[in-house]
C-alpha cells in the first residue's frame, strides 16, 4: 500500500449538564421512561414559543473559555429546515451564523510533543428526539428532544486515528472538569463524527471525504479512522475513486460500513429564528461565569509537578477529580506534597475503594491530613504503622496523636532515650562491636536489630542508625 497524507476533522456533540431543556422547562434527564420528559414545546406543538435557558448560555461561555475560543457577544439562533420524524417542528434551532465560540484550540500531547488541534467554531443547538428503527417501524422517544447541545467543530488539522483519540480524550477531560457535560459516550452525551480524506502530496487538493458516524467509544473512533484510511488507500491504489459518503462504525465487525452516498449537498435553507431575540453578552456576564471555572487539568498537572510530585502521580491525581480537588486545598500549604500525593493515591485510595466512600465523607480534614504527613515525614509514624491506624483516622474524630498513643505505635524520636538503649547494647555485645571495627558489615545490622528488639520496633530507624554509627565510632 502507498502512503497518503490523511486530512481529518472532528465534529463533537456534547449534551449540556443543565436541569432543564434548552427552550423549555421540562427536565433534562437520561434513562427515564420513554416520552415522560416532554412538554408542548419539545413536541413542537403549533403556537408554542421557545424560551432560552440561561444556564445553556453560561455553559456555552464556559466551554468557549476552556477551548480557548473567542466569544461572540452578539448572537442569534437559526432554523435548520428538514423533514424528518426526529423533529416535528420540521426545523432544528441552532446557531449557524453566529456560533458562541470560534477560533479556539485544544492542546494534545503526541509522542511527547505538544500539538494544537484548532477549533473552527462551537455552537449551541437543540438535540432531536431519539429514534430506533425496528423492522418496518421507527420508534420515537422525545425525552431527548430539546436537550441542550454544544457542537464543537475542528479545522481539518488532525492527521491520524491516534490524534483523534487524544483529542477526544482531552476534550472529555476538559468538558468534564468544566462541569459542562458528563461526556458519557456510551449514554450518548458525547457523540463524535469524523471526516476523513487522504491525498498524495501536501500541495494536492483535498481528497474525497467520507464521514464516519455512530462511533460508540474513543477507541472505536481511532480504529474507524485507521480502517477508513486503509479503505481509501486501497481504492486509490487500484486506480478507483469514490463518491462523498456517510459511513457508520459497526462494533461487531470493527470496521466502517456505508450508510449513504451524499449525492448533493444538504439544503437546509437556514434562516434566522424569529421567535428568539438576539442574545447580547456583556463583559460582566462573561466574567461572572468564567470566575466560576475550576482549575483545569493542565494547570493542575503543572502545579503538582512544581511541588515535587512525579508526572505519573500528577496524571493519576488529575484522573481522579475528587482526590485532585482535595489535593488543591493543600497547594499553598507548607507540607510535603510528594508524601501527600503518595498517600492519596496509595493507602487512602485503597481505603476509599474498599469502603466505596468519597474522600469528603471521611473525617480526614485538611488539618488531620497535614498532621499525618508531618508525622510520616518526621518518621514518628512509619508507613507500615499508618496502615494499622488508617481506618480509625478516616472514620473517627479522635486526634491522630491519641489514635497513635492508643495503638501504642508511636515511634521513639527522643535522642536521649534511643542513645541510652544503644549504649547498653554496645556494652552488652563486645564481639559484634569488634566485628564492626574489623569491617564486617553484617555486624551493624545485627546491632540495629537489637536496638529495634529492645525498643519493640518503636525507634525511629533513621535516627537509631545515625546514633548507632556515631556511638560505634
Partner 1 sequence: MKDELSREEVLHVAELARISLTEEEIKKYQVELKKLLNEVEKINDVEGYDDEILIANWDSNAELRKDIAGDMLNPKEVLENAPRHAGNYIEVPVVISDGEGA
Question: Which residue, 173 or 273, has its beta carbon nearer to partner 1?
Answer: 273
By CB under 8 A, what part of segment 40-79 binds partner 1?
A: 40, 43, 51-55, 57, 74, 76
Instruction: Give the alpha-carbon dihedral of 87, 67, 287, 52, to 10 degrees.
Output: 0
Nearer to partner 1, 64 or 394 (CB): 64
* Positions 123 through 142 that interact with partner 1 (CB under 8 A): 125-128, 131-142
User: Do residues 96 and 80 make contact, with C-beta atoms less than 8 angstroms apart?
Assistant: yes
Give the helix ranges, DSSP H, for 84-160.
none
Q: What is the DSSP letter of 142?
A: G
C-beta closer to partner 1: residue 37 or 393: 37
Q: Which three cell numbers stand for residue 16?
A: 449540556
139-198 residues near partner 1, rule: CB under 8 A: 139-142, 149, 151
Report the residue number, 23 or 326, with the smaller CB distance to partner 1: 23
Please count the residues of this chain forming the interface with partner 1, following the rule CB under 8 A: 67
The verdict on 15 binding partner 1 (CB under 8 A) reads no
Which residue in 274, 408, 430, 439 binds partner 1 (CB under 8 A)? 274
Contact between 95 and partner 1 (CB under 8 A)?
no
Please, are residues 78 and 95 in contact by the beta-carbon 8 Å criterion? yes
| Residue 251 binds partner 1, judged by CB under 8 A | no
Q: What is the DSSP string of 210-273?
A: EEEE---SHHHHHHHHHHHHHHHHHHHHTT-----EEEEEETTTTEEEEEEE--S------EE-
Cβ 82 to partner 1, closest distance in Å? 7
| Length of the chain counted residue by residue | 473
Q: How far is the CB of 84 from partner 1 (least distance, A)?
A: 5
Our finding on whether 260 is near partner 1 (CB under 8 A) is: yes
* Location of C-alpha cell 504503622: 385
Q: Per rule CB under 8 A, is residue 262 in the interface with partner 1?
A: no
Residue 312 interacts with partner 1 (CB under 8 A)? no
> Least separation, in Å, of the C-beta of 260 and partner 1?
5
Quick one: which H or E segment has residue 305? helix 297-306
Q: Which residues pair with 212 in a beta bridge?
A: 194, 247
468 SS3 class: helix
Three cell numbers, residue 106: 485544544
Burial grade of 22 (CB within 10 A; 0-12, 13-18, 19 or more) = buried
Minimum distance between the CB of residue 372 and partner 1, rounded to whole angstroms?
41
Where do contacts with partner 1 occur on this chain (CB under 8 A)?
13, 18-20, 25-27, 33-40, 43, 51-55, 57, 74, 76, 81-87, 92, 94, 125-128, 131-142, 149, 151, 213-214, 246, 248, 259-260, 267, 269, 272-274, 276-280
Amino acid at each position: 500500500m502507498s502512503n497518503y497524507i490523511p486530512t481529518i476533522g472532528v465534529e463533537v456533540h456534547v449534551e449540556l449538564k443543565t436541569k432543564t431543556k434548552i427552550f423549555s422547562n421540562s427536565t433534562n434527564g437520561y434513562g427515564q421512561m420513554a416520552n415522560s420528559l416532554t412538554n408542548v414545546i419539545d413536541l413542537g406543538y403549533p403556537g408554542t414559543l421557545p424560551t432560552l435557558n440561561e444556564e445553556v448560555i453560561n455553559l456555552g461561555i464556559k466551554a468557549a473559555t476552556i477551548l480557548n475560543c473567542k466569544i461572540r457577544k452578539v448572537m442569534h439562533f437559526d432554523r435548520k429546515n428538514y423533514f424528518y420524524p426526529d423533529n416535528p417542528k420540521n426545523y432544528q434551532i441552532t446557531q449557524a451564523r453566529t456560533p458562541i465560540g470560534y477560533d479556539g484550540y485544544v492542546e494534545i500531547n503526541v509522542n511527547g510533543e505538544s500539538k494544537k488541534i484548532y477549533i473552527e467554531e462551537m455552537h449551541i443547538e437543540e438535540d432531536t428526539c431519539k429514534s430506533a428503527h425496528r423492522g418496518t417501524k421507527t420508534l420515537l422517544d422525545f425525552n431527548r428532544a430539546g436537550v441542550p447541545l454544544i457542537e464543537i467543530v475542528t479545522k481539518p488539522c488532525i492527521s491520524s486515528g491516534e490524534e483523534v483519540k487524544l483529542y477526544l480524550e482531552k476534550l472529555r477531560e476538559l468538558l468534564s472538569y468544566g462541569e459542562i457535560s458528563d461526556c458519557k459516550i456510551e449514554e450518548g452525551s458525547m457523540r463524535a463524527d469524523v471526516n476523513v480524506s487522504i491525498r498524495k502530496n501536501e500541495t494536492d487538493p483535498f481528497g474525497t471525504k467520507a464521514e464516519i458516524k455512530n462511533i460508540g467509544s474513543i477507541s472505536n473512533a481511532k480504529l474507524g479512522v485507521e480502517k477508513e484510511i486503509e479503505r481509501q488507500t486501497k481504492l486509490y491504489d487500484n486506480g478507483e475513486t469514490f463518491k462523498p459518503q456517510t459511513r457508520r462504525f459497526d462494533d461487531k465487525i470493527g470496521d466502517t460500513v456505508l450508510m449513504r452516498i451524499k449525492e448533493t449537498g444538504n439544503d437546509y435553507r437556514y434562516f434566522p429564528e424569529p421567535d428568539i431575540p438576539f442574545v447580547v453578552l456583556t463583559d460582566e456576564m462573561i466574567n461572572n461565569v468564567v470566575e466560576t471555572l475550576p482549575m483545569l487539568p493542565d494547570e493542575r498537572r503543572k502545579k503538582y509537578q512544581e511541588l515535587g510530585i512525579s508526572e505519573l502521580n500528577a496524571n493519576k491525581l488529575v484522573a481522579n477529580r475528587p482526590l485532585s480537588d482535595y489535593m488543591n486545598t493543600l497547594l499553598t500549604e507548607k507540607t510535603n506534597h510528594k508524601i501527600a500525593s503518595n498517600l492519596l493515591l496509595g493507602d487512602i485510595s485503597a481505603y476509599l475503594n474498599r469502603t466505596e466512600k468519597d474522600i469528603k465523607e471521611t473525617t480526614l480534614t485538611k488539618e488531620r491530613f497535614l498532621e499525618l504527613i508531618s508525622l510520616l515525614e518526621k518518621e514518628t509514624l512509619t508507613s507500615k504503622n499508618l496502615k494499622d491506624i488508617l481506618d480509625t483516622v478516616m472514620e473517627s474524630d479522635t486526634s491522630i496523636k491519641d489514635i497513635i498513643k492508643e495503638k501504642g505505635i508511636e515511634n521513639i524520636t527522643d535522642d536521649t532515650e534511643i542513645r541510652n538503649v544503644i549504649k547498653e547494647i554496645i556494652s552488652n555485645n563486645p564481639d559484634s562491636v569488634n566485628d564492626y571495627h574489623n569491617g564486617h558489615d553484617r555486624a551493624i545490622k545485627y546491632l540495629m536489630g537489637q536496638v529495634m528488639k529492645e525498643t519493640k520496633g518503636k525507634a525511629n530507624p533513621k535516627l537509631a542508625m545515625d546514633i548507632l554509627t556515631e556511638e560505634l565510632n
